[in-house]
Amino acid sequence: MSSDWAHAPDVVVVGAGVAGLYAGWRLQRAGHQVLVVESARHVGGRAAGMDVPGSPGRPLDLGAMRFTSDHVLVRAMADHLAVPYRQLAATGHADTLFYLRGRRFRAGEIAGDPDRVPYDVGPDARGRTPDELFEDVIARVLDKAGAVVPGTRRDWNRVKEELELGGRPLFEYGFWNTVSDHLDLESYAYLRDGNGYDCNNWSAGEVMQTQLAGFGRAVRYFRFRDGTRSLVHALRRAVEAHGGQVWTGTEVRGVRLPGAGQRIELSLRETGGETREVTAPALVLAVPPRALDLMDLDVPAVDLPSWRQDVESVVSHRVLRVVLGFAEPWWEDVVGRGATRSLTDLPIRQVYYLDDHRVTGGDAVLSVACNDDRAYDFFTPAPAFAHWRRGGALDGPDPHQLARIGQDVIAQLRLLHGTAVPSPTWMVVRDWGHDPFGGGYHGWRPGRRGSHVAARMRRPWPRHDVFVCGSAYSDIPTWMEGALSNTERLVQDHFGLTSPDWLPPATYLGW
C-alpha cells in the first residue's frame, strides 16, 4: 500500500479486473485522480493467468481465455494498447469427439449414421449434432413468436426485451423450460448432455444469444498471444502512466455513505498489515455479485430491498478448471490434429485441446472445463488454486485433494478418448466458485428485465456517487466485451466522458 499522493483521490475503484482497470484508465486519462484497490496480490480478477509450471514466461489462462470477432471493444482496445492476439481454429470441426451414455462418436459421423447417437431422439433431432439441434430449436422458438434469429447484438437486445411468447415477455421464461416444450424427452436429454452446459436455465433470450452469438458454429475466436493477462497488465500500465495508482493486496473492510455531496469513506486494509481510511467523492465497484454480498457496504435502509433484488438478478455459475501439460499431444492420435474440443456427459464435461505448443513450444496443453453444477459438485471440495509439477513441490493446501482430482480427471480422459493417457508433467486447478468470485461466469435469471436492472446497477442510489460495473450486469455477461462495454457506458453516462478516439464510431455498448 503506497501513500505517495500529490492529491487525494476523487474516484476510488474497487476491483482490478478488466472492468476496474478499464474504468481507472478511462477516468484517469480524463483528468480524475484515481485509486484502484484489489484484494488479491495480483491484478486481473477472472482474467488473471500464470506461468506454465516450470516454464517462466510461458502464459497459461485459467479464466477468460478468448474473445470473438464480434467483440469490437476488446479488439480495438487491444490494438490501441499494442497487445497482440491471434485467431484460433474453429470449434465446429467434424472431428469433435463425443462420449455420451458410454458411446464414443464424432460430430462428422452423426449425419451419415444417426444411430451412432445413443438417444432415441425424435425426427427433428435425428442426424443432428447438439450444436445443430441447439440452433434449430432456437429458430423454432423465435419463429413461433413471429421473429427470426437476430444478426446483431443490438437486434438480440430488442428480441430479449420486446418479444412475447404465449402472451408473456420472453425474458420471463427459463431457457430449458422453453426448450422442453419443443423437444421430446430424449432429444432434450441429448441436447443438455451434448452441449456441455447443464445448469444454464437463464432467461430464455439470454441463452439463445449466448449460444448463437458466442458459441455458434460460425463464430471466430481469438486469444491473446501472451495470455489474457497481457491485456490486464497493459491496462494497469496505462492507469499508472497517466498518474493513477493501483494497490494490490488491499481489502476493502467497509464503506460508509455519508450525506449527499460528502466524500465516501472507505476502510482499507493491506493483507497482513496496515489499515487506512481513504475518502473520495465517487466510488466505482468493479466486482462480481458475490463480492458485493461480502462487502460491508453501508446501504441506505430504504434502498436495501431493491438493492438486494437487483444484485440477485443474475446467477453466479461455479466453474472448476483443470489444466494439464503433457510431453506430447497424445490426443491427436484419437481426435486428429484439427480438433479443438471434445464433449461428454462425464463430470469433466468439456475438454479443450490448446495449440500453444505449436506457437510457443514446450508441453502440449489440455484444459478441462467443469461448467455446470453436476460436474462441479463431483470434484468438490477443490482448492481455490493449486498446481503441481513432476519432480517439484506442490503449491496448494492439500496434496491428497489435488491427487484425487488428478486421478479422477485422468480416468475420465481415458474413458472419453478410449486410449491410455500418459502421466502429465504438470497440473493446475482453479476453482472459481470460491470467494470472492462465487462463480466463473454469470447469467440473467428468468423474470428480470435486464436493461432496467443494468441501468439501476450502474448507479444504485441517485443520492450517492456510487457506481457498479463489470460483466455480470451487462447484456453479454459471459464475456470481457460485456465488462468493457458496461464500464464504457458508465463513464460516458455518469462521468461525462466521450467515446475514445480508438473506438470505431457508433460502437454499440449494449444496455
Q: What is the mean pLDDT of residues 195-223?
A: 84
Could you tell me the CA-to-CA distances from 469 to 24, 167, 191, 482, 511 in Å, in that order?
12, 33, 33, 10, 12
Topology at the third CATH level for domain 320-431: Polyamine Oxidase; Chain A, domain 2 (3.90.660)
pLDDT the model gives residue 309: 94
Could you tell me the pLDDT band of residue 199, with boundaries at 50, 70 and 90? low
Per-residue pLDDT at 217 exceeds 80: no
pTM above 0.85, yes or no: yes
Distance separating alpha carbons of residues 228 and 236, to the nearest angstrom: 13
Handedness of CA 5, 9, 15, 18 (dihedral sign): negative
Give tens-digit pLDDT for 81-112: 999 999 987 655 788 999 999 999 999 999 99
Q: What is the mean pLDDT of residues 68-72?
A: 94
Domain span(s) for CATH 3.50.50.60 in the chain: 11-47+227-316+443-495
For the chain, the average pLDDT equals 92
Distance separating alpha carbons of residues 135 and 288, to the nearest angstrom: 30
Give tens-digit pLDDT for 381-416: 899 999 999 887 777 788 888 889 999 999 999 999
Give tens-digit pLDDT for 221-253: 999 999 999 999 999 999 999 999 999 999 999
CB 491 within 8 A of CB 497: yes
Give tens-digit pLDDT for 420-467: 999 999 999 999 999 999 999 999 999 999 999 999 999 999 889 999
In CATH, which superfamily holds the domain spanning 11-47+227-316+443-495? Answer: FAD/NAD(P)-binding domain (3.50.50.60)
What is the number of alpha carbons within 13 Å of residue 293 lying toward its C-beta? 15
Give tens-digit pLDDT for 360-388: 778 999 999 988 878 889 998 899 999 99
pLDDT the model gives residue 200: 67
First to last CA, the chain: 36
Give tens-digit pLDDT for 123-178: 999 999 998 999 999 999 999 889 999 999 999 999 999 999 989 999 999 998 89
- Looking at residue 28, what DSSP letter applies? H
Give tens-digit pLDDT for 285-308: 999 999 999 998 888 777 888 999
Q: What is the mean pLDDT of residues 22-29?
A: 98
Domain span(s) for CATH 1.10.405.10 in the chain: 97-215
Selected from 3.10.20.30, 1.10.405.10, 1.10.10.10, 2.60.40.650, the CATH number assigned to the domain covering 97-215 reads: 1.10.405.10
Could you tell me the pLDDT band of residue 6, with boundaries at 50, 70 and 90? very low
| Burial class (CB within 10 angstroms; exposed 0-12, middle 13-18, buried 19+) of 270 | middle
Tally Cβ neighbours within 10 Å of residue 160: 24
